[in-house]
Amino acid sequence: MPMPPPKPSTEGRRDRQVFHEMGQILRALEANGPQVPERLAELVGAAYWESGRFDRALALAVADGLVHTAPGGTVAVN
């Protein structure tokens, strides 16, 4: 008897690249302190990433508890 299919995920499948992108975000925050998302995107070179990748990587980093949004809209390391 075959196994049932896995339950659907609400976040979608993560690829290997998004883990690298999350790491870049984390390292940039560790090196430069809390940043507004726009400046953080500049620090990691997100202009050269595929469209939407920065926002996805940042959202996943927040969801995983690696970073958080601080008062004033800045992003900081947990």
* pLDDT single digits (tens) 60-77: 999 999 999 988 999 999
What are the phi and psi torsion angles at 53 (to 5°)? Answer: -70, -40
**Would you say residue 5 lies in a domain?**
no
Answer whether residue 43 is part of any domain.
yes
How many domains is the chain built from? 1
Domain that includes residue 53, residue range: 34-78
> pTM for this structure?
0.81
Residue 74 lies in a domain: yes
Helix residue spans in 1-78 (DSSP H): 16-32, 37-44, 53-63
The pLDDT score that the predictor gives to residue 14 is 75
Tell me whether residue 57 is in a domain: yes
| 25 assigned to some structural domain | no
Q: Is residue 21 part of a domain?
A: no
